Amino acid sequence: MLNREIYSKPPKENPLVNNGVVEVAEDYSEGAQTVLRYELETFVCDGQYEKGLETILDKFLLNLGQRAEQPGVWISGFYGSGKSHLAKMLRTLWTDYKFSDGAAARSIAKLPSGVTDALKELTNQGKRHGGVHAAAGKLGAGAGDNVRLALMGIVFKSKNLPEQYNQAQFVMWLKREGLLDTVDAELKANGRSVAQELPHMYVSSHLAKALLKARPGFANTDAEARLLLKAQFPQMADITNEQMVSAITDALTVDGKFPLTLVVLDEVQQYIGTDADKAYKVQEITESLCKHFSGELLFVGTGQSALTGTPSLQKIKGRFPVEVMLGDWDVENVTRQIILAKKPSVQPEVEKVWRSNLGEISRHLRGTKLEHVTEDEIFLSADYPILPVRRRFWERVLRTIDTTGTVSQLRSQLRVVHEAVLTTADAPLGHVVSGDFLYDQIAASLVSTAQLPKEVYENVARFAAGTGTAPLKAQVLKLIYLINKLPAEAALDIGLKATDDVLADLLVTDLAAGSSELRKQLPDLLHELQNTDRLIMSLAGGGGTEYRLQTRESSAWYDEFRAQEAELKGSPQRVELFKTRFADTLKKVRVVQDKDNALDDCNLQHWISKT
């Protein structure tokens, strides 16, 4: 049996349509609909996702019944934990979005009964109001730092109106006056459209003529019509809270009733940053709108931190008192259900494989904080072909390289896991993903951010394209790089060093064959990488020989060190001279000692070279 035969969906037929990237925006083009449908089909609504949806819907319905002001919702979690995905699913399920083929969002997604019941109640309540409506987007995407205009752009777009305030006001006026269809038809007769003419509405003679034809008394000439448009619908640098409330009312009201409206503001924390003024403006607009529309309007914001996490976020805490926090467990659960889901019929075979090789699995990284634990056995079948020890190793590395706070865990893990499944698909059952696999997924990004030296990247690529033992050398270099990326304190705390045993533990892929043969190969191969290829250097320590990659600078230092060491080994009289001259000093020096705690010549030479 091959690995590809164990999955519920064959790897090649289960692509990541959105590449693990969720975009919260009012985009319903054909391509966007394809992505949205995929996201609904693969939405794992359990854990915090289920609890979050239930909390949001239940709180809204409770306050709606009291006609009270709706408390805002804050969805938090580390970057890429699925905040945007949850927010986008909420927005889509809120209105039960209908696709072009008639399929409805709620019928596509697999939802627990609690969420389904709450959504049904939302629809029923909407019938008593003006229906249900939702808008979603990022505040920084449209009007820059002007929060009110940015929000208006999101709301306008959700009603298929132009994002610009003046253009939207003009279109809404045309609709109220019953002129829009006539103006649009006239423009189309001349090969144009309202959408094409709006960006230059003040100077468009085509728009002016179409408007005069629809309403002859609007102006006497085209030029006069254009001047009236500029005066009546001026381009605004800012608007007041009253104008904002009025515009939202005009845009969303249906037959005199305001619908139950959800407004999702994605990446609010990123937008605010440390700017207290932006935080105040967000607080001001949410407060004004929630008070005006009472229980009919709900704001949902997202950010990496809880609202108490930064001083700027604390300013809006009062507007977003309902908190939903996503964590690591949700990320792992999503990858297991979307990418790694196995056929029920093959579950016994998968379990048989890892149980029969549990001795090999349990020896990996023994003595470190990443080592195999009994609790791993609960997830070994679900995680296969990724061993839990290696998943933990990858997570540590991913968080280490996240120097800017922009390496998303869910996004990265979905992509990495998907590629891992594809890579091992044609291997026999019992072959798992190598620990160095992560390097290939992140190397290009690390080179572009200067975290991976170009010379290291090129050396790895050169060996990977070679024959014989060259590909294995490439794997070793990749692993040494990944391990060395961990900060010294973190590596010490974990107990992880790039030693022969650790490299073998992370490189073995055939569980049945085990790592014994690999452990025999590695010493000679590491010796070649150090002395022939001159790409790594070794450091002797109490836990065995540790290996590090050499850069040009470290290579020069290492050459000098070896030259001095060779010189000392060839001049035993100098060693004796140092012993005599610095006898008292040496007694106070802490150096590596052998088993009988006696200072030997090798350690003395090491100390001399350093001094």
Residue 378 CB neighbours (<10 A)? 10
* 144 shares its domain with 226: no
d(CA 120, CA 96): 10
Question: Contact at 8 Å (CB) between 400 and 490?
Answer: yes
Q: Is the dihedral of CA 526, 530, 533, 536 positive or negative?
A: positive
* 256 shares its domain with 352: no
* CA proximity to 83, closest of 321, 343, 246, 300: 300
Give the pLDDT mean for 48-75.
89
* pLDDT tens digits along 272-299: 888 888 888 889 999 999 888 888 999 9
* 321 shares its domain with 343: no
d(CA 134, CA 105): 14
Q: What is the domain extent for residue 474? A: 329-550
Q: What is the mean pLDDT of the chain?
A: 85
Which tops the pLDDT comparison, 488 or 104? Answer: 104
**Does a structural domain hold residue 17?**
no
Q: Is the pLDDT of residue 165 over 90?
A: yes
* 187 shares its domain with 130: no
Tokens read off for 224:
């006069």
* 545 shares its domain with 420: yes
d(CA 480, CA 223): 72
> pLDDT value at position 404?
45
Asked which of 225-229, 366-370, 419-423, 566-570 is least confident by mean pLDDT, the reply is: 566-570
What's the pLDDT band for 152 if we cut at 50, 70, 90? Answer: very high
Q: What is the DSSP letter of 134?
A: E
Q: Is the pLDDT of residue 87 over 80?
A: yes
* pLDDT tens digits along 91-126: 999 999 999 889 999 999 999 999 999 999 999 999
**Does a structural domain hold residue 414?**
yes
What's the pLDDT band for 441 if we cut at 50, 70, 90? Answer: confident
Q: Is the pLDDT of residue 197 over 90?
A: yes
- State how far the alpha carbon of 19 is from the alpha carbons of 15, 410, 412, in Å: 8, 11, 9
* CA proximity to 392, closest of 422, 350, 418, 364: 364
* 230 shares its domain with 297: no
Identify the domain boundary among 204, 234, 264.
234
d(CA 13, CA 417): 15
* 492 shares its domain with 588: no
> pLDDT value at position 610?
47
Q: Is the pLDDT of residue 264 over 50?
A: yes
> pLDDT value at position 144?
59
Tokens read off for 167:
């253009």
d(CA 83, CA 77): 7
d(CA 143, CA 235): 12
Cβ burial of 134 (10 Å; 0-12, 13-18, 19+) is buried
Q: What is the DSSP letter of 486?
A: S
Residue 241 CB neighbours (<10 A)? 14
Compute φ and ψ for 75, nearest 5 degrees: -100, 120
Show Cβ contacts of residue 487 under 8 Å, excluding neighbours closer than 6 positions.
400
Question: Facing residues of 23 across strands?
Answer: none
Q: Is the pLDDT of residue 23 over 50?
A: yes
Identify the domain boundary among 325, 342, 371.
325
d(CA 435, CA 504): 10
* 195 shares its domain with 286: no
Identify the domain boundary among 205, 234, 263.
234
> pLDDT value at position 602?
45
Show Cβ contacts of residue 98 under 8 Å, excluding neighbours closer than 6 positions.
104, 105
d(CA 187, CA 208): 10
* 361 shares its domain with 450: yes
**Does a structural domain hold residue 20?**
no
Q: What is the DSSP letter of 90?
A: H
* 389 shares its domain with 443: yes
Residue 162 CB neighbours (<10 A)? 20
**Does a structural domain hold residue 515?**
yes
Q: Is the pLDDT of residue 530 over 80?
A: yes
What CATH number has the domain bearing residue 84?
3.40.50.300
Q: Is the pLDDT of residue 167 over 60?
A: yes
- What is the percent of the chain with per-residue pLDDT over 90, rounded to a whole number? 51
* 375 shares its domain with 318: no
Q: State the total domains in the chain.
A: 4
Q: Is the pLDDT of residue 378 over 50?
A: yes
**Does a structural domain hold residue 19?**
no
**Does a structural domain hold residue 590?**
yes
Burial 60-77 (b: 16+ CB within 10 A, else e): bbebbeeeeebbbbbbbb
> pLDDT value at position 142?
58
* 509 shares its domain with 497: yes
The residue behind tokens 């990724």 is 386
What's the pLDDT band for 541 if we cut at 50, 70, 90? Answer: low
Half-sphere exposure of 439 (CA within 13 A, CB side): 23
**Does a structural domain hold residue 555?**
no
Q: Is the pLDDT of residue 212 over 90?
A: yes
